[in-house]
């Protein structure tokens, strides 16, 4: 479910010491080496305006946000992705290999969704010159197995909002919790985003997962979407992998 962009076309600058000015300089140098018209992708326009290093390194480069993407004076090319949110990476997943011909991500902090997404796309660490090929989500193996099954069952174009897809997601999560398999919601969403779930899907997974862990009683709780032995099957599959 991940993009077809080659690892050489997707790079990142790790957060590491948190030296934003150095990160910007590294990312800007990468952007200047790429073919095509470059652009900078930020959470909000103010992130560019309030960062002198970014404005100084890339003067005159078009700046886009999730809201202004379609109105910006930029029709495609290499992209410097600065301090991404989950929704930014979700949008980037949809554009890689198409509008976005190459991308470099400047990490912000140690939010798990960033590294999970980068590993899933085999992004190259510009400071080490090596591709990131794996990310071990801090999730119980049975949760990972259950989520893989969920990923294969739903129509991702519906964003987990359709009756059946929503029911499958909620029942998967509540079945895990009732079976004693708790999980970190941030790690769950990081895993999902890395595996190609859309931004709207990860947002709903966060909502459903948080509520399931809190013991929330969902309205559709009486209707069943999974086989009664699903948890036993997930557990057996997880045990066979260990």
Contacts of 152 (CB under 8 A, 6+ apart): none
CATH number at residue 231: 1.20.1290
End residue of a domain, out of 79, 105, 131? 131
Same domain? 106 vs 175 = no
Same domain? 85 vs 120 = yes
Token representation of residue 55: 């404005």
235 phi-psi bin (left φ>0, alpha ψ -120 to 50, beta other) = alpha
The torsion of the CA quartet 173, 175, 180, 185, rounded to 10 degrees, works out to 0
CATH number at residue 32: 3.40.50
Same domain? 121 vs 234 = no
pTM of this prediction? Answer: 0.77
Same domain? 163 vs 111 = no
Number of folded domains that form the chain: 2
Collect the ranges in the chain with pLDDT lower than 50: 1
Residue 1 included in any domain? no
104 phi-psi bin (left φ>0, alpha ψ -120 to 50, beta other) = beta
What domain range includes position 106? 7-131
Q: What is the pLDDT of residue 181?
A: 97
Q: What percent of the chain has pLDDT over 70?
A: 95
Same domain? 11 vs 106 = yes
Same domain? 148 vs 231 = yes
End residue of a domain, out of 131, 151, 181? 131
The predicted-structure confidence for 35-81, as pLDDT tens digits, reads as follows 999 999 999 989 988 889 998 999 999 999 988 888 778 889 999 99
- The C-alpha angle 103, 144, 186, rounded to 5 degrees, equals 60
């Amino acid at each position: 479910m991940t993009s077809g962009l080659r690892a050489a076309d997707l790079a990142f600058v790790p957060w590491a010491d948190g030296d934003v000015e150095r990160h910007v300089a590294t990312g800007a140098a990468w952007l200047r080496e790429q073919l095509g018209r470059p652009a900078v992708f930020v959470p909000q326009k103010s992130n560019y305006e309030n960062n002198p290093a970014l404005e100084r390194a890339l003067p005159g480069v078009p700046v886009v946000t999730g809201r202004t993407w379609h109105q910006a004076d930029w029709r495609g090319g290499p992209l410097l992705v600065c301090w991404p949110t989950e929704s930014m990476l979700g949008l980037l997943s949809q554009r890689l290999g198409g509008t976005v011909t190459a991308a470099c991500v400047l990490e912000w902090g140690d939010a798990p969704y960033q590294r999970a997404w980068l590993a899933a796309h085999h992004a190259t660490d510009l400071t080490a010159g090596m591709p990131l090929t794996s990310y071990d989500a801090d999730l119980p193996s049975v949760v990972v197995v259950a989520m893989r099954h969920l990923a294969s069952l739903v129509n991702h174009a519906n964003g987990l909002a359709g009756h059946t897809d929503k029911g499958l997601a909620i029942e998967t999560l509540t079945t895990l919790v009732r079976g004693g398999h708790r999980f970190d919601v941030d790690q769950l969403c990081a895993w999902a985003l890395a595996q190609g779930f859309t931004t709207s899907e990860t947002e709903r997974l966060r909502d459903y997962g948080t509520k399931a862990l809190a013991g929330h009683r969902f309205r559709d709780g009486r209707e069943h979407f999974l086989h009664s032995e699903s948890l036993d099957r997930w557990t057996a599959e997880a045990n066979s992998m260990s």
